[in-house]
Structure formats: structure tokens, C-alpha cells
Structure 1
Amino acid sequence: MESRLAASLISRIRRLRLFSPGETVIVAVSGGADSVALLDILVHLEIEGLTLVVAHLNHSLRGAASDGDEEFVASLASRYQLPFVTRRVDVAALARDGRLSLEDAGRAARYAFFELTANERNADAIALAHHRDDQAETVLIRLLRGSGGAGLSAMSPVRGKLRRPLLKVSRKELENYLKLRGLTWRTDESNADTAILRNSIRHQLIPQLERYNPKVSERLAATAEILSGDEELLEQVAAAAFARLVECSPAAVRLPLGLLLREPRGLRLRLYRLALHELRGDLRRISFAHLEAVDHLASGERPSARLKLPGDCVVSRGYDSLSFSGQWRAPAGNWQLVVSGEGRHTLPVDSALVVERIPCPEKLDSGSRLVAFIDPEAAPFPWTVRNFRPGDRFTPLGMTGEQKVKDLFINEKIPLGERSRVPLIESAGRIIWVAGIRVSEHAKVKATAEKVWRVEILRV
């Protein structure tokens, strides 16, 4: 029975082709049953050259129990002889300072930690243990909160570096797998607290729905998969229309009103979402009601009107265009500075660049994205420090091909109005660091380096 179940789960993941030979994969392990099963399954995938790194975030919410989870995952990584990365975050403080629920603050902290770890390890993927029952719960949560097709398509098997190989596997299958393998896991007592919406749906709503359909979780997950396919197609249609219609400047995103109003209403709403995402870098606090208000502004009779949206965003209608702009600091104009060597160099964007030559540290992970280590031989002076220009390209650390800096900004969710404030450091005509975001492969510290440039951006 053990071998059949293990072979079945491993076969499912192989069929998805989520991982490739030679990749480095960050495996998110909380210590719960699903993540322990995920780790064991990935260990037994036997993909040539696959490098696994176990990552665990201590949320500091449950005192000794949280520390026990960390110790358990550390011992698990040791048993498999895998690298282990952990970090401790005060999620309660993050929730308080950010006016978030503990669940939302914890989720944000986890994803930030996994992405940071992936960047530090030059990882190709981040494996998450979300399974079919999680998917069903997510669909119901979003349905209750009010969501369109994008929300109800729930979690995707692949999104950027994120990989969710267990979305077709039930919680019961994973627990059976662990029992048959003789593996233990940690139980988070807070998962029984039905004051938390997800727990209430898991322990109360879904059992009620199972009275009408015993396979309700399976059906909800299948519905999410169908909607995900539809959403992918609609996103492609919207992206093509956006590329055809949009006019971007450092301060605003504009859509020509005449052409916009010829499009179907559903496509217009998606265009507004894309315009807001391009401007802000995210869609937090933007609801369907806000998109409807924008469409009412665009299709109304007033030739000149304005609408204020969350996130200090203003939508303005003119006679021939609909404009999305921010009310925060005006973007910086074109600027550049020549840096001839070590020292502190004031930049015209409320920051300073500090350059110092130090012995090569044992670890090139500073713990801060505002600090980078650069190989002196690969990056001779003078350097040019400047802002982003259209067409800028560079080779991110760990890659061989070039990437548009604009695409990097989009992937990192840098708002349009802030992009001209991000310092780009050039040496010998090549971008060696998109400051605070990514070092270039051309600046990579060689194993033989005795000294390095330590470069830091200071906010002033």
C-alpha cells in the first residue's frame, strides 16, 4: 500500500513537470503534515541535479510551540541532509503596525521570506504545500468576500517562482502517506480556532456542504482549475488590448477614451485593473466597486471629472483620455552621478550610496536588499549611478540571458511613480546593480576574490 500511494503521488508531480533537472528549489516547510509530506515527496522525485533547500519562518506567535516547530523542521532538514534556512519574525507586530489580521500579516511575512531566500540562493522555484482542500477553502473564502473569475480561480500550480505540486492531492491522502512512511508532523493548535474564517470554513461550512455533495472539496477545486484556464485566456486578451491602447509616462497611465469605450465592458474593467497595477505595483484595497466607479466615470456624460481611489491614486477623465496618476511624490526627472571610488555619495532621490572595500565575507548574504557585494575586478571605476531609462537591460545574478529592467520592476511590484527613484549602478557600460532589487551576473563575486566592494543604499 505504501509503495502504491507514494508512487501515485510522485507520478502526479512528475506529470506536472513543475521542476527541471539542475534547479534549486526552496521548500517551504512549516512542520505541518502537508509540508512534511511535500518535502519527503520532493526528496524522492529523483530528478537529476535537483537541489532542495528547506525554509522555515518562525512567526513568534505561539511561544515555545513556535520554537518547537522550528527545531522540528531543522531536525527534518538534517535527517535529509539538506540546507536549512530559518528566520524569526514578530508577526503580531507586523499585523499591528500594518493594520492587518494575523493571517494576512503571516502570509505576507512568509512570502517575503521565501522570495528573499530564493534570491539569496539563486533558486529557480519555491515549492509550497497547498493541497486540494486548501484550494476548496480558498474558493469559498473568496466567494464569501466577493470575487470575480480571477479570485475564484484561487491558487495556480505555477505563478512566477511559486510551485504548488499538491493541488490535486487531498489532505487525507497526505496524512495517509505520512502514516505509511512512518513520518511525524507538528500540529498547530490555532488551526482549530473557528473564530478564524478559514478554520470555520474547514471545520463547519465544508462538513455542512458535504451533506449535499460528499465530494464538494474535489468539485470546488475542479471549478477553480476550470476558471483558472478561462482566466489565463482572458488575461492574454486584456494584456494585448492594454499594450495596444495604453500610453505610459513616468507620472501617469493613459487610455484613449474613444477606443476604450468601443471595448466590451468586461474587457474595460480588466484594462482598469492593469492600469492601476502598472501605476501602483499592486491592487490592494481595489474592489469591483472601484472598477465599476472608474467605468462609470469613463462612460458618463461629464467631459471632465476626477475619482479618488485607495492608495493615493486619482483617475481623471479628459475630453479624449482616461488618466491614472498618483498623488505621492512626483517622480524624479532624469539624473545621473559619476562615482570614482570609495566613500559616501549623495544621490538626488533622498538617498545616498556608500561604497567601501572590505575583505570578502564568508557569506554574501547581508540580510538586507539595500546592501550588495560586488567583485572589484568585474566592476572597475568610474561608476555611473543614474535612474531608469526606457530600454535598459541587464543580466540578473544566476541567469545567462538579459532581462528588461522594466520587467524586473513589474515582477517586483515597483510602482510606476517610484521607478525613476531606483538607482541603477553602471560599470564599463553595464548595469551591475539595480539598487535594492537585484545584482547583475556581471558583478558576481568570484570564489577567488579576497576583497569586495560593499555597496549600500541609505535612505536620507
Structure 2
Amino acid sequence: MFAAGDRVVVAVSGGADSVALLDFLVNLREMGLSLVIAHLNHQLRGEESDGDEAFVVRLAADYGLSVETLRVDVREFATRQRLSLEEAGRVARYDFFDEVAARHDARCIALAHHADDQAETVMLRLLRGAGGSGLAAMLPRSADGRYVRPFLRVTRREIEAYLAARNLSFRTDSSNTDTSFLRNRIRHELLPFLAGYNGNIAARLVATAESLAADEELLEQVVAAAFDRLGSFERTGTRLLVKVLTTESRGLRYRLYRHALRLVKGDLARIGSLHLQSIDRLVHDAGSGASLSLPGGCRVTKSYGHLVFTAGGSGEHPMDWEVPVEGPGRYPLPGGSVLVVEPADSPAGLRMTSPTVTFLDGEQAPFPWLVRNFRAGDRFVPLGMTGHKKVKNLLIDCKVPRDRRWRIPLVFSSSHLVWVAGVRAAAEARLTAPTADVLKVEILGLDPLKGL
């Protein structure tokens, strides 16, 4: 999982598992790892959540490590994004961990999931109707190497013994006993019940996940080879040849649909077997021009001998959206991107910018800001120009597909458009030599010039 001298972000909640992981990694002296602690305060348990954050900050000081913390109102985020509380927390955490890793140029992010977590995940997915890939559950190392789980074969009992032997203190999350959450019911009710039939049930579930993961590795190679034969990935979407698809086995077809969706969507969240069956009916029974909307803003269209998968065209997204920005911070936006605003020093060049990062003069762009998507008639002065340009024309010039333009955030200070995020900086509020109040503004999870 690690090479000597790696910089590693360690996700630390303050609970037993993450405290044990942190201590273990600190004491891998021979590896010489450079560790950075990341802690997200979900703001779900009031003073208890704040206490967890304070505990992690003290823990970092005790170890002499850097720590990055962030507070996110996960309940409000879940409501705004129409996610369950558990899913919203997961999205917020992983976005934050990715951001910290990028900021510190870390090679990977270490998570404290252990064998009992794995058993719960397998059972959770079984209850929800997952196939082989879902039941493979969590991997010790993600496919891209970004996330690692050193404790995935370690049991909760072994972690508790380690903490006791090392005399380490930790925080206890009161919500872990709340059986209104399905995972907690599995942990406290279902698995103990199944242990009456097999006392080693958790270990058996973990072994099943490992076996299925090995199968998935082989099957993914088969799918990749099949996609090379009958598929293509372009900026406008993913295409599969219908004529060839109909000659393949149902199992391979379903896996190709999943592969295509992952390419355009980035993940398979909320995509289930019923959706794959609907796509298959589209292939076999529908005429050219027929289409299907899927969760997460995806559309599948049968068009002139191709099955075309695109993102952002399902009509599920709000046609008009607005997000207020009161000051520096991190703001999740509709469509999955995140706006990050933070004070900064002046960059080496006053016009130093990129499609996804810009620097603004805080005095010329006072808060509050309003971030919204494109409206007909929007105009601005692009950086380096003196005349106005229609935002619509800019998006056309940059070849941003029509069905993806709704995701492009426009950042306004008062009535002034100061940035077309991910596309072009504005002359308004640009840095000048006397600028003292410098703001770095970055958009994460959005690159329309590279297919979003």
C-alpha cells in the first residue's frame, strides 16, 4: 500500500478505528511516512461533533502532525442534494479527503475500515440487491490506488486490543447505536442473529467479498477488451454498437452498460439492476431515437445503430439553480461540483489562472456572492478583452455540449459576473499590483473543456 517516504492523508474521525490506524502508521518508523490528518465535522451531533473535532486537533498536536479540518452541515447538504443522510456524509467526506490530498500532494488516503465493516457492507448490499461487483464490497486498495484500507483484514476486537495495549483514548460516536440507520441495525441486530447459525459469520462474509473481488478483477479485463471492440468514449458521451451488443451474452451486456455509465458519470451511485434491465430493453425493443433517463443526470439514447450514454441530460437536474456564498469556504453545487473560496497570497503572475482556478480582488468582489447556472442574456468581459461577450457564445466557442451547460457555475458579486467557472476568467475584479485582499477561487469536479 505504501512506499518509503510517501505522503499520506489519514482520515481520522476520533473513533477507535481511526485512532488505532493513525497510531499504527505513525509507528511504521521504517517507512518514514509523511502523514497529514483530515477530519470532517458533519455537524450532526452538536457539541459532541465539535468535541470530536477538538479531540482530533489535540491528537495531531500530540503526534506533531499537520491537521486539516472542515465543517459541513451534512443534513442541509443531504436535503439540497436529495440524498440520504448516510450518502450525503459519504460524499462530503470523500470530496474533502480528495481536496486535502490534492493540496498536500499526497500519494494516497488511508481509511480505517476493518473486517467487521466489510462484513456489514456485504450484508447491506445483499439486502439492497447487489450483484457480484457490489458484493465484492470494499477493496484494500482502490483501483486507482487513491484509497487504501490497511485494517480491512483486522477485526474490531483486534483493534480494541491494540488500543488497550497502547493505552490510547478515543471518542465514541453516539449515533453508532441509532438503529434508525440500516447499517446499525445490521451491526447490532442482524449479524448477532446470524451468528446463532454460524458463529464465524463475519469472517465468512469477508472471505466471500475477497473471492468475489478476485472474480471481478478477471471480469473487468473481459469487459475492457469487449469495450475496445464495440465501444468508444468521447467528450460528448460513450457509445456502444447496438448490432454487436445484441450478439453478446446478457451478463457481458450488463457489464458494458455499467462500464459506459461509469465513464460518463464517474460512479454507479443509484444505478441498480432495474436500470440495467431497462437499458437492455432499449437495445432490443426500441426504435432509433428512443431514450431513457437514469438517476444522477444520465441519459441513454438509441441513435443510428449506437447506444449513446450522456451525462446531465435526464431532466432530473434543476433547470435554474442558485447557491449563496457568504464568504470563504467550501460550497457543494448542483451537478456534483464544489466551489472552494479561500484567502491567498498574490500569485506569481497577476493574471495567473486556469479554467478551474482563478484569483479575485476581494475589495472589487465583495461578499455575499451568488453562484448560479447560465441564463439567457448573461454577458461579461473576459479577462484580456475590453468588450462584452455573451456567455452563451463563450460556451459554444468552447464546445461545451448543450446538455452539460446547466452545470457551469457563474459567480456573481453584486450584479457583476466575475468568473465563468471551469471555462473563462473575467476582467471584473481581476488582480492588480495594489491588490491586498486576494481570494483564490477553485471549482472541483468540473472540467467542461475535457468533457466534465
- Say whether the fold is shared (TM-score over 0.5): yes
- Distance in 1 (alpha carbons) for counterparts of 2:181 and 2:439: 45
Counterpart check, 1:298 vs 2:283: yes
- Distance in 1 (alpha carbons) for counterparts of 2:297 and 2:166: 53
Structure 1 residues 299-325: Cα deviation after superposition (integer angstroms, max 9, x where no partner) = 237566333333443323345322234
Q: Give the equivalent residue in structure 2 for 1:183.
A: 168
| Structure 1 position 60, deviation (Å) | 1.1
Given that residues 251 and 417 in structure 1 are in contact (C-alpha distance below 8 angstroms), is that contact kept between their aligned partners in structure 2? Answer: no
Q: Give the equivalent residue in structure 1 for 2:12.
A: 29
Given that residues 34 and 174 in structure 1 are in contact (C-alpha distance below 8 angstroms), is that contact kept between their aligned partners in structure 2? Answer: yes
Structure 1 residues 112-131: Cα deviation after superposition (integer angstroms, max 9, x where no partner) = 11111001111111000000
Question: 3-state SS of the aligned residue for 2:89?
Answer: helix
Counterpart check, 1:308 vs 2:289: no
Given that residues 250 and 416 in structure 1 are in contact (C-alpha distance below 8 angstroms), is that contact kept between their aligned partners in structure 2? Answer: no
Backbone CA RMSD of aligned residues: 3.6
Question: 3-state SS of the aligned residue for 1:284?
Answer: coil
Q: Give the equivalent residue in structure 2 for 1:255.
A: 240
Q: Give the equivalent residue in structure 2 for 1:346.
A: none
Question: 3-state SS of the aligned residue for 1:27?
Answer: strand
Task: Identify if the C-alpha distance between structure 1 residues 77 and 303 changes in structure 2 by more than 3 Å, giving closer, same or farther.
Answer: closer
Structure 1 residues 199-255: Cα deviation after superposition (integer angstroms, max 9, x where no partner) = 111010011111111111011011111111111111121122112211344334221
- Distance in 1 (alpha carbons) for counterparts of 2:8 and 2:194: 37
After TM superposition, list the pairs within 5 Å mapping 1:36-115 onto structure 2.
36-115=19-98
Q: Give the equivalent residue in structure 2 for 1:408.
A: none
The range that moved more, 279-288 or 103-112, is: 279-288
- Distance in 1 (alpha carbons) for counterparts of 2:176 and 2:18: 15
Structure 1 residue identity aligned to 2:28? L
Question: 3-state SS of the aligned residue for 1:55?
Answer: strand
Structure 2 residue identity aligned to 1:145? R
Moved over 6 A (4+): 414-417
- Distance in 1 (alpha carbons) for counterparts of 2:299 and 2:29: 52
Counterpart check, 1:237 vs 2:226: no
Task: Identify if the C-alpha distance between structure 1 residues 415 and 46 changes in structure 2 by more than 3 Å, giving closer, same or farther.
Answer: farther
Structure 1 residue identity aligned to 2:17? D
Given that residues 250 and 417 in structure 1 are in contact (C-alpha distance below 8 angstroms), is that contact kept between their aligned partners in structure 2? Answer: no
After TM superposition, list the pairs within 5 Å mapping 1:32-431 onto structure 2.
32-159=15-142, 160=144, 161-300=146-285, 302=287, 305-318=290-303, 320-326=305-311, 328=313, 360=346, 370-371=356-357, 418=404
Structure 1 residue identity aligned to 2:26? V
- Distance in 2 (alpha carbons) for counterparts of 1:416 and 1:136: 44
| Structure 1 position 158, deviation (Å) | 0.8
| Structure 1 position 49, deviation (Å) | 3.1
Question: 3-state SS of the aligned residue for 2:36?
Answer: strand
| Structure 1 position 372, deviation (Å) | 5.5
The range that moved more, 239-248 or 208-217, is: 239-248
| Structure 1 position 142, deviation (Å) | 0.5
| Structure 1 position 416, deviation (Å) | 12
Question: 3-state SS of the aligned residue for 1:31?
Answer: coil
| Structure 1 position 89, deviation (Å) | 1.1
Task: Identify if the C-alpha distance between structure 1 residues 110 and 194 changes in structure 2 by more than 3 Å, giving closer, same or farther.
Answer: same
Q: Give the equivalent residue in structure 2 for 1:5.
A: none
Question: 3-state SS of the aligned residue for 1:308?
Answer: strand
Q: Name the % identity.
A: 52
| Structure 1 position 174, deviation (Å) | 0.2
Q: Which runs of 5+ in 2 are unaligned?
A: 316-343, 348-354, 360-382, 386-393, 410-420, 424-435, 447-452
- Distance in 2 (alpha carbons) for counterparts of 1:260 and 1:253: 14
TM-score by length of 1: 0.69
Structure 1 residue identity aligned to 2:262? H
- Distance in 2 (alpha carbons) for counterparts of 1:97 and 1:272: 29
TM-score by length of 2: 0.70
Given that residues 275 and 294 in structure 2 are in contact (C-alpha distance below 8 angstroms), is that contact kept between their aligned partners in structure 1? Answer: yes
- Distance in 1 (alpha carbons) for counterparts of 2:346 and 2:442: 19
Structure 1 residues 23-73: Cα deviation after superposition (integer angstroms, max 9, x where no partner) = 100111111111111011111112343101111111111111111111111
- Distance in 2 (alpha carbons) for counterparts of 1:418 and 1:294: 22
- Distance in 1 (alpha carbons) for counterparts of 2:356 and 2:90: 23
Q: Which runs of 5+ in 1 are unaligned?
A: 1-17, 331-357, 362-368, 374-380, 388-413, 424-434, 438-450
Given that residues 251 and 416 in structure 1 are in contact (C-alpha distance below 8 angstroms), is that contact kept between their aligned partners in structure 2? Answer: no
Task: Identify if the C-alpha distance between structure 1 residues 372 and 172 changes in structure 2 by more than 3 Å, giving closer, same or farther.
Answer: farther
| Structure 1 position 272, deviation (Å) | 1.0
Question: 3-state SS of the aligned residue for 2:126?
Answer: helix
Task: Identify if the C-alpha distance between structure 1 residues 372 and 128 changes in structure 2 by more than 3 Å, giving closer, same or farther.
Answer: farther
Number of aligned residue pairs: give it: 355
- Distance in 1 (alpha carbons) for counterparts of 2:62 and 2:442: 40
